[in-house]
Structure 1
Amino acid sequence: MSQCLNPDCLQLNSKTTIFCQKCGSKLLLTDRYRALKILGQGGFGRTFLAVDEHKPSQPYCVIKQFLPQAQGTNNQQKAEELFQQEAIQLEQLGKHQQIPELFAYFIQDHRQYLVQEYIEGENLAQELAQSGAFSETKIINLLGDLLPVLAFIHQKPLIHRDIKPENIIRRKSDNKFVLVDFGAAKAATRTALAVTGTVIGSAGYVAPEQALGKPTFASDLYSLGVTCIHLLTNKEPFDLFDVSEGDWVWRDYLTVKINNTLGQVLDKLLQQGTKKRFQTAQEVLEALQLTVKPISSPTPQPNIELKSAKGVNYHQLEQLL
């Protein structure tokens, strides 16, 4: 089927149709990308599964359509900037096997669109809902696989600002974790970091300094820590934080066993004070005694300047902890 992209129509048409049979809107974006169905909808717009009809195999891709729910001129303008910013950030990141590649960004019918690589798989929120609380091994695998991706992003330098289970997809083809949704990403220049900015992020996962509009690289690590304890406990972040004590009480909700080293790493990721927290992804990897390049990785990791932590093999981690 071919999905109409007109927000007021959304009629399903036959796959060979050029114009929507209900509203007459053109179904192909730039005479190339055809939407098949709606994948999801958020505050900035809709996401569609699509095909690229310019390629012989007609591979799947993802269309993001800017369709803000924000009210007011200022909010609308900010939403437009963030949507365009996502395209810019993806372009600047270039090709990375665990970040969706940007294929196109354009305006059609007075609406903004970006087209990016389709990642087949479930996000971690979906996996949690289906399989229940993550085991220690699954959390170790998550950290070992995703921390080098964060290091790559931070070296650009960018801060993702929205690390959470919904934005991490376990790719079906190789079980690798892919980080998505760079709409909130911010360039981490010295000037930008010195200026208080708009508060962006998902409630419960946002680091204290980010909530004040001053995110740092350590803010992403904090959000990753919150993601881990949410996955370990299957409890919402707000339930894992004791407001009266100003501290995380995630261990009270554990139903799985974890070792002391992993627990200490998670505690440090969750420190309220930025300076008490891990500052870089490399520090976390070293604390976990993970190597940057797991033996099981089918393709070489990007050339990022991280040092192997004491030469420890990835697969030996559970025996070492």
Structure 2
Amino acid sequence: MKQPIFWSNPADAPGWQAHLLAPLSKLYASATARRLKQDGYKASVPVICVGNINAGGTGKTPTTIALVQYLIARGKNPHVVSRGYGGSLEGPVRVDERTHSAEEVGDEPLLMAAFTPVWVAKARDEGVKEAEKNGADVVILDDGMQNPSVQKDLTLVVVDAHRGFGNGRVLPGGPLRESVTTGLKRGDVLISIGSPEAQERFETNWAGLVSIPRVKAALEPLQTGIDWDGMEALAFAGIGHPEKFFQTLRELGVTLLRAEALKDHQPLSTPLMKRLEVEALALSAQMVTTEKDAVRLPRAFRTHVITLPVRLSVEDWSPIDHHLSQLGLD
């Protein structure tokens, strides 16, 4: 697999473990390539995939929400189809944020359902069919870039600008589901999310491999009227990269007396929340979490925890607009 031209940080380069696991990485990449040769369902409406090459969190959910809001502002009726990671329901089922729980449909679909109709379906093609039947004029696949069950008309590849594509290796030798060059060949626009410094780091390491238009974006706190400056907090987050959330709080002026990094999608059990509440009381700290974590909170704790919502700010929509226009979504 072709590697980046230059590593700005030698620690990012493949280590001995990655080299040792190279044969398994090759097998994983080959299995993905074989699966993608299957013919998927062709919908009667445009299908936009918001996916990634990396395994784990890159910012797909805020990207999907931003795209939903952008399309609604254009008078469209987008529906989202999600696998519902961590949820027990097979689907297809439309998510109802008033009655469904994260345990049933997953935390991300529950969060997105506040913005537009969301269908959870382990078989994504069945979810797309339900969206079509219920009036969607465009379907957004939340993830599914490596799933061949549905044909995509536009694929947006999302990457964390700071982390980039890691050491450039496929699982298990690295963080990738497929090679960068292979994945980007199936993508139409690359959305790199991060600060100006992170964007510069991404360009240094990866610009030589980016063969499609790239759009820069950043996650920005939503103004809710809360005075964060000077707040003493116990923060917890079960997202892909909790440290990004903690750093955002610090940049808002919050003093973090305790920062608890949980596993992505980790259940917020009552014993766990009671422990965090006791620690917060001992520190005289306010409990703070992310929007995605907030939908997993036990009901008894929802009034005790403040949520910091963030929204994706896209620097330039024109490369995406070009494809939307071709799909009749202008």
Pairwise TM-score range, normalised by the shorter structure: under 0.3
Normalising to structure 2: TM-score of the pair? 0.23
